[in-house]
């Protein structure tokens, strides 16, 4: 095991500017690091991150302090029968016929409305005008809430993500997150109670009515799930669209291939999840001492799993520093299931319940963007990425003027 003074510091300004060279050093020389400031062990190799996601010795008890203060108790903190029951209560709405018939039209409508606002704007920042708003608007509409509340939800989403990304524990950010938690509960709990009494044809009503073996979600559990959906569903899709468009614009031959064959959008999404994932780190906590590359992690410790590093591990992928939607060591047909051979959606029992929703949003949103932009290029060069916990360009200015 490596002490922090001998290894890259993930809280340093240099790391935040460009973590990828440091990820390589960590994988090769310091696969297990103890970070005193974060009170966490850090792992970076694919096999170790995969083990932390799959092996039942690893739990999500760290979410008790990481997520609960801002979301309330969520499905991510549950294990065993409780987790299985709650996952079954919510998962049906995010796959299969329910997703296709009920929510695909919602996704298409929101994408179309945002793209209509892009027309005539040139150059345009795709982050501000589309990526950061599209998934939040979709979630608000899926829940059957007023469109007039889109901006309010966007503000709550921004506040909660700041709380979750607050690795240095800034007290002002923590206080703002707590205020958002209270505001969100005061807004949503009365609506949940109204939907129980008078259900509609929306996701919130579906959650209120869902029942398995006589068990239903409480008002607080539905509120916590919606809060989690707002960030987990918003942040990942927001940053995935941004990073995917950047990656394709940097590789015009691959962009041309996707434009010619829209079935390749799924492959471009999967490769983006490997190459530049929206979420770069997820934490776990082992119930027993566990051996990983570089040493033994004691029971009860926090383990920070660097997804962004694992996705570029040359022990697992060929030429991992190259963005390649045609690579043969990443299986697109499995990329949005628990059998995925990337780590961006986690694996095992906590595999992302919204993976198919994200895939559907990406396919529709990016497909419509390409339809609306027959020509597209960077306005002023490729933008830098930003962020440590989650990461993507904060702006993506493009020029759609024909050459």
Beta bridge partners of 393: 385
pLDDT tens digits along 59-87: 888 887 777 888 888 887 777 777 788 77
Asked whether residue 306 is assigned to any structural domain, the reply reads yes
Asked whether residue 381 is assigned to any structural domain, the reply reads no
This prediction has a pTM of 0.91
State how far the Cα of 235 lies from the Cα of 244, in Å rounded to an integer.
14
Secondary structure (3-state) at 291: strand
State how far the Cα of 283 lies from the Cα of 289, in Å rounded to an integer.
16
Domain containing residue 237: 2-374
Summary mean pLDDT of the chain: 90
Asked whether residue 95 is assigned to any structural domain, the reply reads yes
Asked whether residue 264 is assigned to any structural domain, the reply reads yes
Asked whether residue 72 is assigned to any structural domain, the reply reads yes
pLDDT tens digits along 123-136: 999 999 999 999 99
Give Cβ neighbours of residue 232 (< 8 Å, ≥ 6 apart).
352, 354
% of the chain surpassing 90 pLDDT: 64
Across the range 100-126, mean pLDDT stands at 91
Q: What CA dihedral angle connects 163, 168, 169 and 172, to 10 degrees?
A: -70
Across the range 76-104, mean pLDDT stands at 80
pLDDT at 318: 97
* φ/ψ (deg, to 5) at 135: -65, -35
Evaluate if residue 262 carries a pLDDT over 90. Answer: yes
Angle between helical axes of 252-260 and 219-250 (0-180°, round to 10)? 120
Asked whether residue 147 is assigned to any structural domain, the reply reads yes
Q: Categorize the per-residue pLDDT at 177 as very low, low, confident or very high, splitting at 50, 70 and 90.
A: confident
pLDDT at 274: 97
Q: What share of residues in the chain are helix, strand, coil (percent, to 5)?
A: 55, 10, 35
User: How many structural domains compose the chain?
Assistant: 1
Evaluate if residue 403 carries a pLDDT over 60. Answer: no
Asked whether residue 387 is assigned to any structural domain, the reply reads no
Q: Output the domain CATH number for residue 22.
A: 1.10.630.10
Across the range 147-154, mean pLDDT stands at 85
Give Cβ neighbours of residue 6 (< 8 Å, ≥ 6 apart).
30
State how far the Cα of 100 lies from the Cα of 322, in Å rounded to an integer.
34
Asked whether residue 396 is assigned to any structural domain, the reply reads no
More confident residue, 132 or 169: 132
pLDDT tens digits along 293-315: 999 999 999 999 999 999 999 99
How far lies 334's CA from each of 138, 202, 225, 244, in Å? 25, 29, 26, 19
Evaluate if residue 229 carries a pLDDT over 90. Answer: no
């Amino acid at each position: 095991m490596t002490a922090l003074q001998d290894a890259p510091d993930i809280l340093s300004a240099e790391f935040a500017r460009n973590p990828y060279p440091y990820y390589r050093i960590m994988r090769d020389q310091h696969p297990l690091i103890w970070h005193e400031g974060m009170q966490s062990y850090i792992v970076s190799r694919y096999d170790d991150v995969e083990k932390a996601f799959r092996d039942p010795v690893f739990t999500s008890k760290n979410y008790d302090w990481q997520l609960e203060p801002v979301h309330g108790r969520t499905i991510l903190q549950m294990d065993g029968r409780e987790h299985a029951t709650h996952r079954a209560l919510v998962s049906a709405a995010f796959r299969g016929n329910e997703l296709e018939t009920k929510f695909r039209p919602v996704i298409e409508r929101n994408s179309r409305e945002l793209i209509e606002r892009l027309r005539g704007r040139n150059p345009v920042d795709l982050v501000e005008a589309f990526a950061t708003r599209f998934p939040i608007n979709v979630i608000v509409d899926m829940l059957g809430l007023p469109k007039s509340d889109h901006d309010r939800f966007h503000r709550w989403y921004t506040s909660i993500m700041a709380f979750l990304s607050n690795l240095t524990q800034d007290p002002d950010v923590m206080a703002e997150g707590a205020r958002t938690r209270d505001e969100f509960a005061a807004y949503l709990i009365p609506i949940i109670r109204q939907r129980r009494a008078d259900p509609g044809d929306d996701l919130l009503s579906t959650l209120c009515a869902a029942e398995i073996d006589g068990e239903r979600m409480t008002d607080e559990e539905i509120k916590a799930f919606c809060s989690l959906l707002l960030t987990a569903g918003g942040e990942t899709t927001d940053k995935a669209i941004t990073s995917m468009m950047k990656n394709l614009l940097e590789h015009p031959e691959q962009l041309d291939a996707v434009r010619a064959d829209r079935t390749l959008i799924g492959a471009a999404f999967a490769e983006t999840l490997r190459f530049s994932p929206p979420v770069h780190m997820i934490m776990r906590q082992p119930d027993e001492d566990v051996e990983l590359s570089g040493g033994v992690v004691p029971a009860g410790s926090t383990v920070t799993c660097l997804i962004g590093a694992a996705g570029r591990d040359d022990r697992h992928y060929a030429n991992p520093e190259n963005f390649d939607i045609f690579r043969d060591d990443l299986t697109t047909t499995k990329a949005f299931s628990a059998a995925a051979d990337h780590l961006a959606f986690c694996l095992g029992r906590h595999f992302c319940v919204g993976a198919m929703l994200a895939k559907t949003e990406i396919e529709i949103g990016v497909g419509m963007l390409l339809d609306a932009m027959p020509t597209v290029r960077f306005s002023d060069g490729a933008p830098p990425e930003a962020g440590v916990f989650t990461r993507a360009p904060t702006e993506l200015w493009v020029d759609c003027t024909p050459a």
